[in-house]
Structure 1
Amino acid sequence: FLPYLAWAFSVDRWDEDWTESVKRQVVKDAFYIHQHKGTTSAVRRVVEPFGFLIRIIEWWQTGETPGTFRLDIGVQDQGITEDTYLELERLISDAKPCSRHMIGMSINLQTSGPHWVGAASYLGEEITIYPYINETIISGGTAHEGGAVHVIDTMRVNP
């Protein structure tokens, strides 16, 4: 039934391999896209059914050649295949303003997960006490500090 709706609403691109939710969104957005074809809003609408985030960078924002633009597309966790990439290029080409030329499309993937960092410091002294002898005792050393400090003192008393 969805292919017939797509035909009735003049959907520009259709692929039987798309998921049902993408097909429904494409049919839903078809009228809006035809009304706004040639605007950045239409470009956003053809990319968003795939679940991608899009950022449009116009020539006047970067000082590029007048009449050009770049796209940054965030694919989130699902990734992107070569076929999907080529389909996006076709859909964007249909929806973009005819007077504008796309000079770059960057695909960005952002992932997240736990990252564990640990640090420790260990410092100890061992002291031996002898009967008093009139000598100068010099003690020295280095200490390294970190996120946690564990200090141990051992004292031995000899006769």
Structure 2
Amino acid sequence: MPTLLPPNAQPIEYALEQFSSRQAGLPLPTTKLWNVDSCPATLLPWLAWALSVDNWDASWPEGTKRAAVAASIEIHRRKGSVASVRDAIAAFGFGVAAIVEGWGGYIYDGTLTYDGAETYGAPDHWAEYRVYLVRPITIAQAEQLRAILKNVAPARCHLAGLHFTEVAHTYDGTIDYDGAYSYGVA
């Protein structure tokens, strides 16, 4: 058998060469492995690592893992923008969110006059932003979301709070008071 090994090769090197020559005939579906939709679920963590997914949790459902990997390229493309924050929130399964930048939050309905007599918003809160989610999240989910937002939000911005618009507690027994949920802002 022809070999590419030097004459002073060790027996283990010859054995490895023979083994690898037998494996050369096996098909390698690399295009299937690099596609998030056709990649086997057991290989998704390595695909996520290769595509630089910033946050990963092995306990996520498979659909969330695939969505996180699929959104990774677009998130990195727009990293540091409000759009990347919105995309990351949706990709990690937290749904559609409204993002409010700054601290002012005044409604332009004619009740305020802009004559220079007062400052609208505190001068040191211009870089804060708030996220309004549709549904309540647990404290653990809030910590996870804060870690995600830390990686994708603009470096100049600071998260002021995670709010939700749906009623958090309806006192119907669906939520236990065991410390998993907060009472309003997460």
User: Is TM-score (shorter-chain normalized) higher than 0.5?
Assistant: yes
Normalising by the smaller structure, the TM-score range is 0.5 to 0.7
Give 2:177's aligned residue.
Answer: none
How many Å apart are 1:51 and its aligned residue?
4.0
Gaps of 5+ in 2: 1-42, 106-119, 169-186
Give 2:102's aligned residue.
Answer: 59
Which of 112, 124, 146 pairs up with 1:89?
146
Give 1:15's aligned residue.
Answer: 57
Helix, strand or coil at the partner of 1:86: helix
1:51 and 1:70, CA in 2 relative to 1: closer, same or farther beyond 3 A? Answer: closer
TM-score (norm 2): 0.53
TM-score (norm 1): 0.62
Q: How does 1:124-135 map to 2 (within 5 A)?
A: none
Give 1:148's aligned residue.
Answer: none
Which of 158, 161, 165 pairs up with 1:108?
165
How many Å apart are 1:61 and its aligned residue?
5.6
The answer to whether the Cα contact below 8 Å between 1:55 and 1:71 also exists between their aligned partners in 2 is: yes
Please tell me the residue identity of whatever aligns with 1:105: L
Helix, strand or coil at the partner of 2:73: helix
Give 1:114's aligned residue.
Answer: none
The answer to whether the Cα contact below 8 Å between 1:74 and 1:110 also exists between their aligned partners in 2 is: no
Computed over aligned residues only, the root mean square deviation of the Cα atoms, in angstroms, reads 1.9
Distance 2:86 2:164 in 1: 15
Q: How does 1:34-45 map to 2 (within 5 A)?
A: 34-45=76-87
How many Å apart are 1:110 and its aligned residue?
5.0
Structure number with greater Rg is 1
Structure 1 residue ranges (4+ consecutive) displaced by more than 2 angstroms after TM superposition: 79-82, 107-111
Structure with more of its chain in strand, by fraction: 1
Helix, strand or coil at the partner of 1:37: coil
Helix, strand or coil at the partner of 1:106: strand
Gaps of 5+ in 1: 112-159
Matched, 1:6 2:63: no
The answer to whether the Cα contact below 8 Å between 1:59 and 1:66 also exists between their aligned partners in 2 is: yes
How many Å apart are 1:80 and its aligned residue?
2.5
How many Å apart are 1:58 and its aligned residue?
1.2
Helix, strand or coil at the partner of 2:60: coil
The answer to whether the Cα contact below 8 Å between 1:52 and 1:73 also exists between their aligned partners in 2 is: yes
Give aligned pairs, total. 108
The answer to whether the Cα contact below 8 Å between 2:142 and 2:162 also exists between their aligned partners in 1 is: no
Helix, strand or coil at the partner of 1:30: helix
Helix, strand or coil at the partner of 2:97: strand
Distance 1:100 1:51 in 2: 20
Give 2:68's aligned residue.
Answer: 26
